[in-house]
Amino acid sequence: MCISPIGTIAASDPTSSSVLNYDQVFIRDFIPSGIAFLLKGEYDIVRNFILHTLQLQSWEKTMDCHSPGQGLMPASFKVRTVPLDGDDSATEEVLDPDFGEAAIGRVAPVDSGLWWIILLRAYGKCSGDLSILERIDVQTGIKMILRLCLADGFDMFPTLLVTDGSCMIDRRMGIHGHPLEIQALFYSALLCAREMLAPEDGSADLIRALNNRLVALSFHIREYYWIDLRKLNEIYRYKTEEYSYDAVNKFNIYPDQISPWLVEWMPNQGGYLIGNLQPAHMDFRFFSLGNLWSVVSGLATIDQSHAILDLIEAKWTDLVAGMPLKICYPALEGQEWQIITGSDPKNTPWSYHNAGSWPTLLWQLTVAGIKMNRPEIAARAVEVAERCISRDKWPEYYDTKRARFIGKQARLFQTWSIAGYLVAKLLLADPSAAKMLITEEDPELVNAFSCMISANPRRKRGRKNSKQTYIV
């Protein structure tokens, strides 16, 4: 690994006695590292990472006799040195992947393959090495991930249905179903894959399925996940138990679900995409990564993207406070914490995944700010981070409402905290480099989307500026 590096381990904390699995290379954690390497012109490690993880994708994997779908990428892998067969004095390095079968809670890493596709596109764009995309194994790898995500199931919604803990939040946090983070990464990966798939006879069906899904997914999220003061007021006055094709309250949301905190919290200007939507259930928590990546990928419209950034500015003391950025807001407390997290002692209120603050999210905030031509938001957040992050030895996360403490069980020298900060700095110095991560909506999609909007009965009730709101 030292001769030819293929990744970065999650943390290298000299003060910690139990390393758990932080000595592994996590796919999601490597993304900001990979981007930092690309920005520095060090392309080889990223290429190595892409090709080695690709090999892991086709591993035979089982848990208690059950095999997950083909195409799954591992959450992480470890480099292990083993004696070379038949030669006692020599050793070789092998990779040990974890597809969730050893992870705490046995969580499925749904985000890994999606991030892999996003990194692959960034690598091609930044290094100019397009030969990687011509490789059959790479094309097959993209298609396997797509097939797994686009496979038919029982779903009524175009969003991906996943279990709890299938992304950055990899413990029970009540985000099973259709969490926003996965949907934003899914949308982003579909757009990136479409750009990279080589046109060939065999993939016409896949491309058709991909295009259909892009349209349906963006419609669903923009329309049903979006909330701002106006929409909240609409939900507050919802009629329930509507049976019919033209129901306004399609998911039978009971207005009493609107949490008291949200009524106070929603700013006059700004809005965001909610965390999850299920029958009779809206998770109103604000999840940072899902919202930021919806901006970056264009899953949110231009107006919505600006509104998300407006909200981050308006709620600065809640979301950024002493360290950017809260992973979600607000924390689950009391009985809700007991029931939803299963009384998880690591996810106590305002800690870790339960509204802790994660410095790595700085890089996604920066890309979103640059895309919307508002880099000053990111620059301000970087300034906040700089006040203590290096002195504190680059913790994995911070605790408390105002992010005043280093996280109770946070690792120090957490690689993606360092890489996230580096990427933010490098991109702010050269904003045009962010292009490798950004996707814009293409005219074909806009066209299909506007046809769908005009066919939607809900539109007929009239909403001012409906065109401007959705057609970007």
Going by C-beta distance under 8 Å and a sequence separation of 6 or more, which residues neighbour residue 154? none
Query: CA 317 → CA 74, 172, 330, 356, 466, distances in Å?
Result: 36, 27, 12, 14, 32
Residue 142: exposure state from Cβ atoms within 10 A (0-12, 13-18, ≥19)? buried
* Number of chain residues interacting with ligand GLC (CB under 6 A): 6
213 binds ligand GLC (CB under 6 A): no
Cα–Cα distance between 86 and 150 in angstroms, integer? Answer: 45
Contact (CB, 8 A) for 73 and 113: yes
The residue (of 23 and 223) whose beta carbon lies closer to ligand GLC is: 23
* Interaction of residue 98 with ligand GLC, rule CB under 6 A: no
Q: How far is the CB of 292 from ligand GLC (least distance, A)?
A: 15
Of these, 168, 184, 300, 323, which contacts ligand GLC (CB under 6 A)?
A: 168
CB of residue 105 to ligand GLC, shortest distance in Å = 10
- Min dist CB 267 to ligand GLC, Å, is 29
Q: Which CB, 157 or 416, lies closer to ligand GLC? A: 416
Residue 287 within binding range of ligand GLC, rule CB under 6 A: no
Please state, in angstroms and rounded to a whole number, the distance separating the CA atoms of residues 232 and 274: 11
CB of 243 vs ligand GLC, minimal distance in Å: 41
Separation CA 236–CA 253 (nearest Å): 10
* E-state strands within 125-232: 226-228
* Footprint on residues 26-85 left by ligand GLC (CB under 6 A): 26, 28-29
10 binds ligand GLC (CB under 6 A): yes
* Binding positions for ligand GLC, 102-121, rule CB under 6 A: none
Part in contact with ligand GLC (CB under 6 A); list of ranges 22-30, 205-213, 333-341, 365-373:
22-30
Name the residue nearer to ligand GLC (CB basis): 183 or 417. 417
Minimum CB distance to ligand GLC smaller for 127 or for 188: 188
Structure tokens at 75: 């959450």
13, 170, 228, 310: which one contacts ligand GLC (CB under 6 A)? 170
- Cβ proximity to ligand GLC, 365 vs 377, nearer residue: 365
306 vs 312: CA distance, rounded Å: 10
Alpha-carbon gap, residue 373 to 377, rounded angstroms = 10
- Residue ranges of alpha helices (H) inside 266-374 are 288-297, 302-314, 316-319, 334-341, 362-371
Which residues of this protein are in contact with ligand GLC, per CB under 6 A?
10, 26, 28-29, 168, 170
